[in-house]
Each structure stands twice: as structure tokens, then as C-alpha cells.
Amino acid sequence: MSDFRQAFIEFAIDRKVLCFGEFKTKAGRMSPYFFNAGLFNDGDSLRRLGQFYAKAILAAEIPFDMLFGPAYKGIPLVSSIAIALAEMGHNYPFCFNRKEIKDHGEGGIVVGSPLAGRVLIVDDVISAGTSVRESVELITTANATPCGVVIALDRMERGTGTLSAVQEVNNTHVISVISIINLNDLIDYLQTRSELSHQLQAVAKYRQQYGVI
């Protein structure tokens, strides 16, 4: 596991974004861990989060021309990532959408740089894939090309079928999905922390029951 992935796990645990215990998922499963990206809710957290996303994007080496953040959670994410990338010497345009079309002023549904070229979509997690589907439709309608999705955590967990939500997005839209960390990274981290051995056993058991390869 690369250093920035381990650092991100420690950062998420420290900010109580990543917690261990018993949590009921939307699918009705009892998960031994919970990830709530909404708790990255102050200036320093958002700054650091953008840096971790930027490192994951650069490590993945996906060619892209601009960033897109779906409303609402994607708006602060795409802004912080664009700033972090610029500070690393990679200046990209970005935009986000409105939930409602504005019929006055500049109008339209997109705020920021016009959608063009290869567009990298930014989100926190993928559960049902609804946000990605809506983003892909918006981007293609603008005659741009969705080239990938970047998220914070890939739970690597089966959805309603045999595939994970990330695999379903990959298959449906034929685009890559990259993440700062995934479930394997989390397990690798827990294996290095003896004080978290109980959590390791619970997470490993959950992966065995609901995980995908």
C-alpha cells in the first residue's frame, strides 16, 4: 500500500470519518465499518482531502482534460481537488452542475468551465451509481467524453447481483473507476495495527461474506 493511502486511512480515522462498530447499510447488511465523507467538514479537512484525491488521480495516470463534480457533494470536492492539482503543477479547468436549471443571468445547468474533452467525474463513494449515471448523461449531452470516476473509498462489496457498484459502473459506462483507498487497503492497514485486531477479524469476515474480487 502506498504511503498516501495509509496516510489517508489514518486521516479518516482521526477525523472519525472512518469508524468501526456495527452499522446498518442501505442494503440491510450489518457492516463492521462506516465511512462518512460528510465529516470532512472544515477548511483543513477539505484541503487535505483534496490533496489525497489529487495524489490518487496522478498515481492512476488517467488522461483527462477537466474535472466535473456532481451537485451537491461533488461541488466542494471538485473545487478542492482542482486547487490541490494546481499546487502540484497540474492546472485543470473544472465545473459542477446545478440541481435546477437557472433561467436568468448566465443561465444553464453547469457552473464553471464549459464541459469539453475528456472529463473526470469526482464523487465520494459509489452506492447505487445514480450520481455517475446522471453525470455521464450530462457530459455526453454536452458532446464531451466521460473518461473516469474518482472516489474516496471503494467498498468492493456486492450490490444486488454478483458485481460491486464500482464494477457495475465500469461495465455499464465503460469507464475506469479509481479510489483513494479500497477495502483491501483497509484490511492491509488493519493487519499492521495490533490494537485493531478485533476490527480486522470483523472486516475480513464481512469481505468474505459480501466482498467481490
* Amino acid residing at 68: F
Cell of 181: 483507498
List all residues 6 or more positions away from 97 whose beta carbon is below 8 Å from its beta carbon. 68, 70, 71, 109, 110, 111, 135, 138
Yes or no: say if 207 and 187 are a contact pair by the CB < 8 Å rule. Answer: yes
Rounded distance between C-alpha atoms, residue 60 and residue 182, angstroms: 14
List all residues 6 or more positions away from 145 whose beta carbon is below 8 Å from its beta carbon. 117, 118, 119, 139
Residue 103's beta-bridge partner residues?
none
3-state secondary structure of 152: strand
Cell of 198: 478485533
Sheet strands (E) in the chain: 18-24, 30-35, 66-69, 94-102, 108-112, 118-122, 145-154, 176-182
Rounded distance between C-alpha atoms, residue 81 and residue 73, angstroms: 13
Which of the residues 102, 173, 198, 205 is marked catalytic?
Answer: 102
Which of the residues 104, 173, 198, 205 is marked catalytic?
Answer: 104
* Amino acid residing at 19: C
Residue 16 a catalytic site member: no
Residue 104 a catalytic site member: yes
Which residues are known catalytic residues? 102, 104
